[in-house]
């Protein structure tokens, strides 16, 4: 049965939630469903959806308690004769769920992280109450996030489903050659190529990663780090640049800013490093697994549901620069062992975190809420 689906997200990206939004919308359209997208204004997502030949309408989001936004969503539901509304992220989902309830259609909400959900005061409490009452089902992208949000909403975890994000996975054969054989007893001929991907935000833990780079240098190990992500507007980017200068690592750390298609950078790196202090899931981790790049990630929530330490990646404590440095050394020190981990991670990404698996789960969820068989 072909479904008429309204996909809605309050932001325009770039970011992990927006990437999932675009991939899911395109995949559903490719399966023959009629997909209409509503997004916030931004530097990436509206153009990306248009590039994928998806129908896009920009949200006129003016902030908290915007009744015009509620009306805009309602008009879109009527105009496209929507069967099910799927809203992503918290604020936009509040309006979407209320509009869907008013129009008598089901609404699935996906929360990708903790941002805004813990907003204090009566406004935050009212929004959480509206969402719980009006959303048909609420989905989180990891079990760890489900636990955090259940506490924030003051309800049981059973009120939330878990559907992991997925990415397109390359073929069954491992696409990478084995890691270059290096001795840990001498400086390698070429520096290790490290990569971090994520917008410059406090939860990404970049200060610890810069400290880890300094520790590697103190140990006489040669490494270069590229950081891919859009700079923030709160001064954190400038603070990181000053920290890199103070630590003496500015010569081996590059801030590349936003990169539209980072897959080539991921595939060309020796190690992907995730230094987050709090992570709802981590799309880039499964992208690296799919591309055959070993991952060092912190135990920050979502990564523990993706990686098995020593089997499909390397997990270290969050908020500890020394642990990050140790994890990087561990990933690089035994090439044959790491190559086996890379192969196992690639297989795991195909089995558990493929785009098809994610789309199957959402498609089944839509059908259940439409038919009332939840």
Per-residue pLDDT for 290 more than 70?
yes
The better pLDDT of the pair 172, 80 is held by: 80
In this prediction, residues 144-159 reach a mean pLDDT of: 86
Q: How far is residue 323's CA from residue 319's CA, in Å, rounded to a whole number?
A: 9
Per-residue pLDDT for 201 more than 80?
yes
The better pLDDT of the pair 235, 35 is held by: 35
Q: Which two tokens stand for residue 167?
A: 């990415």
Phi, psi angle pair for 185, to nearest 5° = -95, 0
Q: How far is residue 346's CA from residue 285's CA, in Å, rounded to a whole number?
A: 11
Per-residue pLDDT for 199 more than 60?
yes
Q: Which two tokens stand for residue 228?
A: 């891919």
Other beta carbons less than 10 A from residue 187's beta carbon: 11
Q: How far is residue 87's CA from residue 70's CA, in Å, rounded to a whole number?
A: 13
Q: Dihedral through CA 352, CA 370, CA 17, CA 22, nearest 10? A: 90
Question: In terms of DSSP bridges, do strands 55-58 and 34-39 run parallel, antiparallel, or are they unpaired?
Answer: parallel
pTM for the model stands at 0.88
Question: pLDDT-based confidence at 42, cuts 50/70/90?
Answer: confident
Percentage with pLDDT > 70 across the chain: 92
Among the ranges 33-37, 59-63, 87-91, which has the highest mean pLDDT value?
33-37
Among residues 197, 357, 351, the alpha carbon closest in space to that of 271 is found at 197
Q: How far is residue 51's CA from residue 261's CA, in Å, rounded to a whole number?
A: 14
- Using only C-alpha atoms, what is the Rg of the chain? 21
In this prediction, residues 159-163 reach a mean pLDDT of: 91
Question: pLDDT-based confidence at 342, cuts 50/70/90?
Answer: very high
The CATH superfamily of 192-352 is: Glycogen Phosphorylase B; (3.40.50.2000)
Does 4-166+354-371 match 192-352 in CATH topology? Answer: yes
The better pLDDT of the pair 64, 340 is held by: 340
Give bridge partners of residue 299 from the DSSP assignment.
317
Instruction: Identify the sign of the CA torsion 75, 160, 352, 345.
Output: positive
Residues contacting 51, CB < 8 A, separation 6+ = none
The better pLDDT of the pair 323, 61 is held by: 323
- Work out the widest C-alpha separation in the chain, in whole angstroms: 68
C-beta of residue 294 within 8 angstroms of C-beta of residue 272: yes
Question: pLDDT-based confidence at 57, cuts 50/70/90?
Answer: very high
Average pLDDT, the chain: 90
Per-residue pLDDT for 143 more than 60?
yes
How many angstroms separate the first and last alpha carbons of the chain?
18
In this prediction, residues 51-60 reach a mean pLDDT of: 94
To the nearest 5 percent, what fractions of the chain are helix, strand and coil?
45, 20, 35
Per-residue pLDDT for 324 more than 70?
yes
Count the alpha carbons within 13 Å of 295 in the hemisphere toward its beta carbon: 34
Residues contacting 60, CB < 8 A, separation 6+ = 66, 68, 69, 72
Other beta carbons less than 10 A from residue 266's beta carbon: 22
The better pLDDT of the pair 80, 15 is held by: 80
Q: How far is residue 159's CA from residue 216's CA, in Å, rounded to a whole number?
A: 45
Q: What is the pLDDT of residue 176?
A: 52
Question: pLDDT-based confidence at 186, cuts 50/70/90?
Answer: very low
Residues in the chain: 374
Q: How far is residue 62's CA from residue 55's CA, in Å, rounded to a whole number?
A: 22
pLDDT in tens, 273-287: 999 999 999 999 999
Q: What is the pLDDT of residue 118?
A: 63
C-beta of residue 231 within 8 angstroms of C-beta of residue 255: yes
Q: CATH class for domain 4-166+354-371?
A: alpha beta
Give bridge partners of residue 84 from the DSSP assignment.
5
So where are the chain's domains?
4-166+354-371, 192-352
Q: Which two tokens stand for residue 1?
A: 């049965």
């Amino acid at each position: 049965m072909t479904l008429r689906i309204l996909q809605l997200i309050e932001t325009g990206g770039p970011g992990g939630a927006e990437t999932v939004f675009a991939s899911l919308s395109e995949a559903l359209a490719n399966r023959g469903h009629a997909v209409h997208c509503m997004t916030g204004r931004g530097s990436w997502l509206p153009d990306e959806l248009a590039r994928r030949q998806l129908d896009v309408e920009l949200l006129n989001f003016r902030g908290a308690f915007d009744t015009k936004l509620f009306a805009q969503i309602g008009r879109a539901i009527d105009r496209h004769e929507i069967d099910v509304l799927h809203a992503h992220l918290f604020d936009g989902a509040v309006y979407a769920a209320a509009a869907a309830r008013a129009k008598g259609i089901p609404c699935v909400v996906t929360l990708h992280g903790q941002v805004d959900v813990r907003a204090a005061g009566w406004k935050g409490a009212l929004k959480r109450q509206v969402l719980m009452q009006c959303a048909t089902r609420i989905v989180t992208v990891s079990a760890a996030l489900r636990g955090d949000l259940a506490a924030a909403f003051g309800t049981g975890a059973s009120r939330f489903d878990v559907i992991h994000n997925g990415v397109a996975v390359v073929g069954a054969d491992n696409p990478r050659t084995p890691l270059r054989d290096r001795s840990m007893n001498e400086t390698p001929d070429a520096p290790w190529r490290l990569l971090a991907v994520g917008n410059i935000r406090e939860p990404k833990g970049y200060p610890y990663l810069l400290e880890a780079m300094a520790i590697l240098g103190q140990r006489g190990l040669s490494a270069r780090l590229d950081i891919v992500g859009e700079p923030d507007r709160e001064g954190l980017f400038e603070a990181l640049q000053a920290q890199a200068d103070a630590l003496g690592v500015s010569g081996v750390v590059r801030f590349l800013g936003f990169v539209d298609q980072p897959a080539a950078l991921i595939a060309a790196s020796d190690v992907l490093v995730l230094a987050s202090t709090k992570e709802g899931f981590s799309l880039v981790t499964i992208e690296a697994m799919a591309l055959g790049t070993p991952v060092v990630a912190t135990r920050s929530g979502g990564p523990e549901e993706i990686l098995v330490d020593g089997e499909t990646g390397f997990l270290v404590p969050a908020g500890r620069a020394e642990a990050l440095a140790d994890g990087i050394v561990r990933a690089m020190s035994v090439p044959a062992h790491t190559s086996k981990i890379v192969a196992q991670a690639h297989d795991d990404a195909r089995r558990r975190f493929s785009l098809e698996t994610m789309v199957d789960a959402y498609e089944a969820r839509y059908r259940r809420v439409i038919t009332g068989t939840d």
